[in-house]
Amino acid sequence: MQSGRYEVTLVTGPAIGPEGELIEQARAWGVPLEIIPEMRREINPLRDWRSVAAIRAFIAGRKPQIVHTHSSKAGIIGRYAARKEHVPVIVHSIHGLPFHRYEKPWNNWLYRELETRAAEHTDAIVCVADAMTAAAVDAGVAAASKFRTIYSGMDVEPFLRRDYDTGALKRHFGIRADEPVVGKVARLAPLKGYEFVIRAMQEILLHVPKAKFLFVGDGPAAVDIRRQVYGAGLQNHVIFAGLVPASLVPTYIALMDVVVHASLREGLARVIPQAMLMEKPVIAYNLDGTPEAIEDGVTGCIVPPESVHELALKAVDLLQHPAKAREMGRRGMEFARARFDARLMVEQIDALYQELMKKVQS
């Protein structure tokens, strides 16, 4: 894709599983795609080496001046291939570190080693939050001078609209006009915190018995999460919307009165600024980059990780005090609009590319 001074090609694996993908959106935008069938999320040594060979062949044929990798595994093999093919500038983005407090010690050691070795041949590492930089530097991945924080931007306009037909969606899900909605938008996967939200529901319903809970997303833990809901007898209060197209996410957030993000591992979850842009109060766990987006009690609510009672208290407070929730949403919108616009992100990445290319050419 010719975009200003860059010709961009997206190299990715196939869209597999129920968690959603952006390949069709990239095609609709006219972005050239190179799909490598062997590239998968799961570790598989044989398939991974084949992925490296395919990426090297692609790089050798195109001879790009910049390779910019994303995600942990793709970042490791992509940077290795780029180094072997002598790419002038190698950049990596950390959206969430592969080593964290909830991972096994052996895996954490291995992930740190791999990230550290890959960083030796990386010209710059972009983090979506200062917290990611601090964690990576503390782990010895690289010196702080190699890192840059660039918040993950988005097209803010769909989230700034206020004309979504939430009435039709409420009728579709059987939600009455007087029933407030607590929503969560996330993969149905381990460490996304659904178990804490489900436990908090019971306390919330004691104070707000008409509340409904809307889960938007799909993933490998879908069956287990449904089992938890039914086991707690909450099936009449929970709506599983499933995976929805990215273009419809604003409509679903518009339906929510309060947005909860209880993930235990994130860089900085995109749903937080998305909800803030839509003037929805967000309750999230105090870890990773969340405090960089939410000022507790001002632009949202922050509670301790794994907490249930505190999460429920905040949700009840916001549901029972809609004026307070609206004011929090308004302040959150102003904050997010100034920091998460894709145009700002692109400008910052462009400046980084230009800086690194000048060093190579000098």
Provide the pLDDT for residue 104: 84
Q: For residue 45, give the amino acid letter.
A: P
CA-based nearest residue to 36, from 18, 53, 19: 53
Provide the pLDDT for residue 266: 82
Per-residue pLDDT of the chain (362 residues; tens, 9 = 90+): 445 578 899 998 887 665 556 777 778 888 888 888 888 877 778 888 999 999 999 999 999 999 999 988 899 999 999 999 999 999 999 998 887 777 788 888 988 999 999 999 999 999 999 999 999 999 999 999 999 999 999 999 999 999 998 888 999 999 999 999 999 999 999 999 999 999 999 999 999 999 999 999 999 999 999 999 999 999 999 999 999 988 899 999 999 999 999 999 888 899 999 999 999 999 999 998 999 999 999 999 999 999 999 999 999 999 999 999 999 999 999 999 999 999 999 999 999 999 999 988 87
All domains in the chain, ordered by first residue: 2-153+342-361 (3.40.50.2000), 157-339 (3.40.50.2000)
Beta strand 147-149 with 33-35: parallel, antiparallel or unpaired? unpaired
Provide the pLDDT for residue 1: 40
Provide the pLDDT for residue 2: 42
Provide the pLDDT for residue 62: 93
Residue 143 and residue 133: Cα distance in Å, rounded? 9
